[in-house]
Amino acid sequence: MRKKLFSNHVNLDSFIPATEADKEYMVQMRPSSTFFKDGVKRLLKNKVATISLLIIILTTLLSIFLPMLWPYAYDQQMGVQPGKMVDASFNNLSPFEYGKTELARIADGERIFPHIFGTDSAGRDYFIRIVYGTRISLAVGFFASIIVLIIGMTIGSVAGYFGGKVDLIIMRIVDIIYSLPDMLMVILLASVLQIALKGLLEGTVLEKIGSNILSLFIVFAVLYWVSMSRLIRGQILSLREQEYILAARASGAKGRWIIRKHLIPNSISVVIISTALQIPNAIFTESYLSFLGLGVNAPMPSLGSLASDALNGITSYSYRLVIPAVVISLIVLSLNLLGDGLRDAFDPKLNG
Amino acid sequence: MSSKTLLYILKRIGLAILTIWVVITVTFFVMRAVPGGPFLSEKAISESAMKALEAKYGLDKPLLVQYGTYLKDIVTRLDFGPSIKQRGRMVMDIIGDGMKTSVKLGLIAAFFALTIGLVLGSIAALRRNKIIDKSIMVVTTAFVSMPSFIMGSLLLVIFAIKLAVLPANGSTTAGLILPVTTLALYPMAYITRLTRSSMLDVLGQDYIRTARAKGVSGPQIVFGHALKNAIIPVITYFGPMLAYIVTGSLVVEQIFAVPGIGRAFVNSITGRDYTLIMGTTIVLATLIVVMNLISDILYKVVDPRITLE
């Protein structure tokens, strides 16, 4: 069909179906990436952080599942059998040694699971105590950080949101708590709380956790929320003034949309990173207190209390100190390196 | 000094005094909240003996009156009262005795941490990304993530037990080597990293290029020109370093049996010697707060470029 000059008629030739070659052009070569996916990719590129992550996952899984499979319990004194004399040959076994009755059973052709790290002075399998201690230390670190996160987030966002006098009063309190020497206060509170709590807890569910761990949590809740709340308040104050919030508001976005789409995604990475960095801090504090004798209640082990107990027999059984020491250092180091990696991966702004 | 700086210093001193007051108050009321009171763990005491004990330590008066006298005694006479467990000794005397050893220990550790840290940090910055820089960074990372009690115990195992070259007991002069090393390693590693990053920052500045253009040698640029400015961020670390040394000395003195204030503090906790716990907490806390105050003020005064909020 010949097209007339200046005609408004559409040219039908422009509307032929697309060929296969044309369609290929429209195929999505790579799915669009989200902020989270980008971050994970950056994190996995960082070798140090990936190895740290693997170490942490491995230790966590081992500390959860090994005690279920292990033939010995952490508080089982091997030499103590009901109705029999205490068999002292089980105390202070070296790695891969057996007690008297076990040797007799082996002579009878029975297979006995070895004590990989030997036993401690009360005849308890030391390997499972290390595993259990790792579990306790990790759990304390994790829950303490969650507590700090919740309290810090609540108070920080209240201060940032309301501003004015509320903000002023909260920030003065934060200033004072911040300048308190934290370790001394932790020791003071922990030493008093564990006595005060002992009476209160009797007969309740919480008794199983033990007064010492609970007092540790309370101490964390009272003292360590300040830096988290400072951080969140700062985030809220600075984000509130950003131009893109103003732009969103100008184009008619409501409060809930702004919070969900702008405020949370932009501040969440900072919050997660500082929570992750809080965990090694909490593990360190717990082991420090355990070392001073203010940690978990016996016979429950934690890495710090195991190290502290090992000091008594250090001349002959120094490996009993070295093992928990290596485990704590490894956990704290990998958590710190992972935290740094997370910061690099999820918060390019911080790096400058 | 501008009036703005003066105002900042006054504010900072006010906050420090407030903090010390909070420490004293918290310590007092927390200790009084202990169920059963300080004489609980003693063997069964008769009613009249208990009354007499309470009267002796002033525990029969109303709480606020006790608090008032306690505060007044501390502020006016530095008097923390008598120790509950160590008969006939005043808390301040016990603290004073322990302080002599602990201060010596802490000062030597701080001195080594500072000098070695500054030198290592400068070397790392000068040889950036060379093998020596990388090895310094790896070693310091390992030291920074090792808690003091682990470090102390490992040093004890290696040098005093396996190799048997150094004494494990810290009450002699030679015995101080291991505790001092334990206390110094963490701050040393931290100062090294701090110095390296601030030195790298300074080395990129114009006046360094000018000095280079004039033909000043490498080491002289670092130690003569750059160090003066690179040291400023290190000043802010003085306060935290002291806090670390104080809390570290609690366990280090325990491990190496050093007769210092840290060991007295730990023993007072396990022995429930309440007046001694209160006294030691307050003295150590005051020390840390004052040190933080000094390093904060010094930081602002030393560098006129730093703006005050």
Higher pLDDT, B110 or A74: B110
Percent of chain B with pLDDT over 70: 94
pLDDT at res. B304 = 67
Please say whether the beta carbons of B278 and B272 come within 8 A: no
CB-CB neighbors (< 8 A) of A189 in chain B: 30
User: Does A236 reach chain B within 8 Å, measured CB to CB?
Assistant: no
Residue range B173-185: mean pLDDT, rounded: 88
Question: What local confidence, expressed as pLDDT, does residue A2 receive?
Answer: 61
The span from the CA of B100 to the CA of B264, in Å, is 12
Mean pLDDT throughout B81-106?
Answer: 84
What pLDDT digit, counting tens, does each position of B56-80 carry? 777 777 888 888 888 888 888 888 8
Per CB-CB distance under 8 Å, the chain B contacts of A318 are 157, 161-162
Chain A interface test: which of B17, B28, B145, B293 (most A C-beta within 10 Å): B145
Tell me the residues of chain A between 319 and 338 that have a Cβ less than 8 Å away from chain B.
Answer: 321-322, 325, 328-329, 332-333, 336
pLDDT value, residue A351: 45
Q: Are A128 and A77 in contact (CB under 8 A)?
A: no
Q: How confident is the model at residue B188 (pLDDT cuts 50, 70, 90)?
A: very high
Spell out the residues 6+ positions from residue B119 whose beta carbon is closer than 8 angstroms to its own.
none
Does any domain span residue B298?
A: no
pLDDT for residue B184: 93
Q: How far is the alpha carbon of B235 from chain A, nearest alpha carbon, in Å?
A: 17
| Residue in A328, A320, A317, A322 with CA at minimum distance from that of residue A290 | A328
Whole-angstrom distance, CA of residue B192 vs CA of residue B237: 12
Query: Helix or strand or coil: residue B82?
Result: strand
Residue A181 in contact with partner chain B when CB distance is under 8 A = yes
Q: What is the mean pLDDT of chain B?
A: 84
**Is residue A200 within 8 angstroms of chain B, CB to CB?**
no
Range of the domain at B188: 109-272
Burial of B212 (0-12, 13-18, 19+ CB in 10 A): middle
Nearest to A325 among B18, B154, B247 (CB): B154
Label residue A11 exposed, middle or buried (CB < 10 Å: 0-12, 13-18, 19+).
exposed
CB hemisphere CA count around B13 (13 angstroms): 7
Minimum distance, in Å, between the CA of residue B22 and any CA atom of chain A: 8
Place of tokens 């600075």: A238
Q: Give the span between the Cα atoms of B212 and A215, in whole angstroms.
A: 59
- Tell me: cis bond preceding A299? Omega within 30 of 0 counts: yes
Residue B97 forms part of a structural domain: no
What is the spatial distance between Cα B98 and Cα A175, in angstroms, rounded to a whole number? 31
- Give dist(CA A282, CA A290) in Å, integer: 12
DSSP B90: B
Which residues of chain B are within 8 Å of residue A329 when distances are taken between CB atoms? 142, 145-147, 150
Phi, psi at residue A72, to the nearest 5°? Answer: -115, 150
Q: Residue B36 pLDDT more than 70?
A: no
pLDDT at A304: 86
In a domain, residue B46? The reply is: no
Q: How many domains does chain B have?
A: 1
B120 — pLDDT class (breaks 50, 70, 90) = very high
How far is Cα B274 from Cα B42, in angstroms, rounded to an integer? 13
Residue B201 lies in a domain: yes
Q: What is the pLDDT of residue A259?
A: 78
Does the residue B9 lie in any domain?
Answer: no
Of A175, A184, A189, the CB nearest to B15: A175
Give the CATH number, domain containing residue B116.
1.10.3720.10
CA angle B251, B281, B108 (to 5 degrees): 50
Q: Does A44 touch chain B (CB under 8 A)?
A: no
- Rounded to the nearest angstrom, the minimum Cα separation between A334 and chain B is 9
**Domain for residue B5, yes or no?**
no
A187/B250 Cβ within 8 A: yes
What kind and span of H or E run contains B235? helix B232-236
Nearest CA distance, A67 vs chain B (angstrom): 25
Determine the pLDDT at residue B115. Answer: 93
How far apart, in whole angstroms, are the C-alpha atoms of residue A28 and residue B76? 79
Window 285-314 of A, Cβ < 8 Å to B: 287-288, 291-294, 304, 307-308, 310-311, 314
pLDDT value of residue B309? 43
The pLDDT value recorded for residue A352 is 39
- Report d(CA A314, CA A325) in Å as an integer: 13
Q: Are A130 and A66 in contact (CB under 8 A)?
A: no
Q: What ipTM did this prediction achieve?
A: 0.79
Interface list for chain B against chain A, based on CB atoms closer than 8 Å: 15-16, 18-19, 22-23, 26-27, 30-31, 33-35, 141-142, 145-147, 149-150, 153-154, 156-157, 161-162, 243, 246-247, 250-251, 254-255, 265-266, 269-270, 277, 281, 284-285, 288-289, 292
Q: Exposure pattern of A298-330 as b/e (b: 16+ CB <10 Å)?
A: eebbbbbbbbbbbbeebeebbebbbbbbebbbb
* DSSP for residue B161: I
Distance between CA atoms of residues A88 and A125, nearest Å: 14
Which chain B residues are within 8 Å of A280, Cβ to Cβ?
A: 145
Q: Does A187 touch chain B (CB under 8 A)?
A: yes
Separation of alpha carbons A279 and A14, rounded Å: 64
Task: Report pLDDT for A20.
Answer: 84
Q: How far is CA B8 from CA A80, B286, B299, in A?
A: 66, 20, 12
C-alpha span between A245 and A258 (Å, rounded)? 7
**Where are the alpha helices (H) located in chain A, listed in sequence order?**
20-26, 35-45, 47-69, 100-107, 126-162, 164-179, 182-201, 211-223, 225-240, 243-250, 255-258, 264-291, 303-310, 319-346, 348-351
Neighbours of B174 (CB within 10 A): 10
Asked if residues A302 and A287 have their Cβ atoms less than 8 Å apart, the reply is yes
pLDDT at B190: 92
pLDDT at A205: 67
Nearest CA in chain A to B16: A179
Instruction: Report the Cα A149 to chain-centroid distance in Å.
Output: 11
Please give the Cα distance from A273 to B199 (Å, whole number): 27
Q: What is the DSSP letter of B61?
A: S
Largest Cα–Cα distance of chain B, in whole Å?
86
Cβ-defined contacts of A316-323 (< 8 Å, 24+): A316/A92, A317/A92, A317/A118, A318/B157, A318/B161, A318/B162, A319/A95, A319/A117, A320/A117, A320/A120, A320/A126, A321/B153, A321/B154, A321/B157, A322/B154, A322/B157, A323/A117, A323/A126, A323/A130
Q: Does B308 have pLDDT greater than 50? A: no
Closest to A100 in 3D by CA, of A91, A114, A90, A113: A90
Does the residue B90 lie in any domain? no
Residue-wise pLDDT for B207-247, tens only, equals 888 998 998 887 788 888 888 888 888 888 888 888 888 88
Helix axes A319-346, B148-155, angle to 10 degrees: 140
Asked if residue A122 lies in contact with residue A77, where contact means CB atoms within 8 angstroms, the answer is yes
Q: Touching check for A180 and chain B: CB below 8 Å?
A: yes
CB pair distance less than 8 Å for B149 and A196: no
Angle between helices A164-179 and A225-240 (to 10 degrees): 140
Taking contacts as CB-CB distances below 8 angstroms, the residues of chain B near A336 are 145
**Which chain B residue shows the shortest CA-CA distance from A322?**
B154
Q: Burial-class residue A148 by CB neighbours within 10 Å (0-12, 13-18, 19+).
A: buried
Q: Give the separation between CA A101 and CA A210, rounded to whole angstroms.
A: 34
Inter-chain residue contact B145 with A183, CB threshold 8 Å: no
**Whole-number Å distance between alpha carbons of B231 and B134:** 21
Q: Which residue of B has its CA nearest to A319?
A: B157
Confidence class for position B141, pLDDT limits 50, 70, 90: confident
Backbone angles phi, psi at A301, to 5 degrees: -95, 150
Size of interface A-B (CB pairs under 8 A): 114
pLDDT value for B176: 85
B39: pLDDT confidence band, cut at 50, 70 and 90? low
Radius of gyration (Cα) for chain B, nearest Å? 24
Q: Which residues of chain A have pLDDT under 50?
A: 351-352
